[in-house]
Structure 1
Amino acid sequence: MEIRLADKKDINDIAMIEAKCFPSLEAATYEQFLERFESFGDCFLVAVNNDQVIGFINGCSTNEPCLPDELYHDASLHQKEGLYQTVFGLDVLPDYRHQGIAGALLKSFILLAKQRGKKGMVLTCKDYLIHYYEKFGFVRQGISDSHHGGASWNDMLYIFEDGE
């Protein structure tokens, strides 16, 4: 398996994986991924196995340590030099789950954010994933104001230590 920056040609696979991993009210569409990629394509990583995209992680940068819903819907809000890397989605095809691929994608995204001088990373997750993200250094900040897809979310924040 290889983890690399996504290419524009990967967007179709990314949208297909998203549709398999999230309910339709929460899943981004092909058009939304294309718009996001045009704004922050350097913030998309894909996991590839035998030339097939099997997972991805993506998100924009912002100056606030939170992930408000408007960031999902307006790619122009991306701040390339923002202090925080967000995670919009971490998706792995069902047949490839429980093999460490999501963890490898997240670790790679964290490393990339650190290399780019970000102060930290933010995401929202459902209750059952709080413990998973805590293993990587994220700390639950409380119930999110987000109502993305009509679901209830938790704000998670990972502040990078100096010298990490």
Structure 2
Amino acid sequence: MSGFTIRRVRPQDLDACHALEACCFPPAEAASRESIATRIARFPEAFLVAEAGGAVVGHVNCGATRKDDITDEAFKALVGHDPAGPNLVVFSLATAPDWRGRGVAAALMARLVAEARARGRGRVLLLCKEHLKDFYRGLGFADGGPSASAHGGAAWREMRLDLG
């Protein structure tokens, strides 16, 4: 990890996280400012940012659930979120374009996984596009195949990392 630090999100990071989300995802897939504000307020424990020179250059955020089905669109707004749930569901992993290829995303995920293990979580679940499955495999995730999710009109794959 060079040139950036990872820390817990702060309320004042809202605008930077929203801008990052908007630049990294198509409009139909990006979380709204309101959704990001809800994630910061309700579950900062699983919302990490990478910071360099005082700027947010990456983030990862999650919800927690007892369910294994992660296709529920309402859950992205933390409807049904259970802070004590054994499963963390990654909503967004984003890295500023000029910081890609520098290990930011991998470092964010490594820290998220380490903290999830330390808190006794059972698994980390996420949806990703086909071209990202090898990235997540490299982080230890298993490919669960195509997802039933149609979030943003895109095709998704289900990825899973068992922590036990």
TM-score, normalised relative to structure 2: 0.94
Q: Which residue of 2 aligns with 1:58?
A: 61
SS of the equivalent of 1:77 reads coil
User: Which one is further off, 135-144 or 35-44?
Assistant: 35-44
Q: Is the 8 A contact 1:39 1:78 kept in 2?
A: no
Q: Is the 8 A contact 1:48 1:55 kept in 2?
A: yes
Q: Which residue of 1 aligns with 2:75?
A: 71
Q: Is the 8 A contact 2:39 2:61 kept in 1?
A: no
SS of the equivalent of 1:12 reads helix
SS of the equivalent of 1:59 reads strand
In the alignment, structure 2 segments of 5+ residues that lack a partner are: none
Could you report, residue by residue, the CA deviation over 1:4-53 in whole angstroms, capped at 9, with x for unpaired residues? 00001101100000000000000011111112222212211000001111
Residues in 2 aligned to 1:152 and 1:30: alpha-carbon distance in whole angstroms: 24
Question: % of aligned pairs identical?
Answer: 33
C-alpha RMSD of matched pairs (Å): 1.0
Could you report, residue by residue, the CA deviation over 1:68-123 in whole angstroms, capped at 9, with x for unpaired residues? 22211x32321111011111011000000000011000000001111111011000
Work out the number of aligned pairs and report it: 160
Q: Which residue of 1 aligns with 2:149?
A: 146
Q: Select 1:133's aligned residue among 132, 136, 142.
A: 136
What does 1:1-164 correspond to in 2, within 5 Å? 1-68=4-71, 69-72=73-76, 74-161=77-164
SS of the equivalent of 2:121 reads coil
TM-score, normalised relative to structure 1: 0.94
Residue 130 of structure 1, CA deviation: 0.6
SS of the equivalent of 1:88 reads strand
Residues in 2 aligned to 1:98 and 1:115: alpha-carbon distance in whole angstroms: 28
Residues in 1 aligned to 2:150 and 2:42: alpha-carbon distance in whole angstroms: 24
Residues in 2 aligned to 1:66 and 1:154: alpha-carbon distance in whole angstroms: 13
Q: Post-superposition, which runs of at least 4 consecutive aligned residues in structure 1 deviate over 3 A? A: none
User: Which one is further off, 27-36 or 116-125?
Assistant: 27-36
Residue 138 of structure 1, CA deviation: 0.6
SS of the equivalent of 2:94 reads strand
In the alignment, structure 1 segments of 5+ residues that lack a partner are: none
SS of the equivalent of 1:24 reads coil
Letter in 1 for 2:54: D
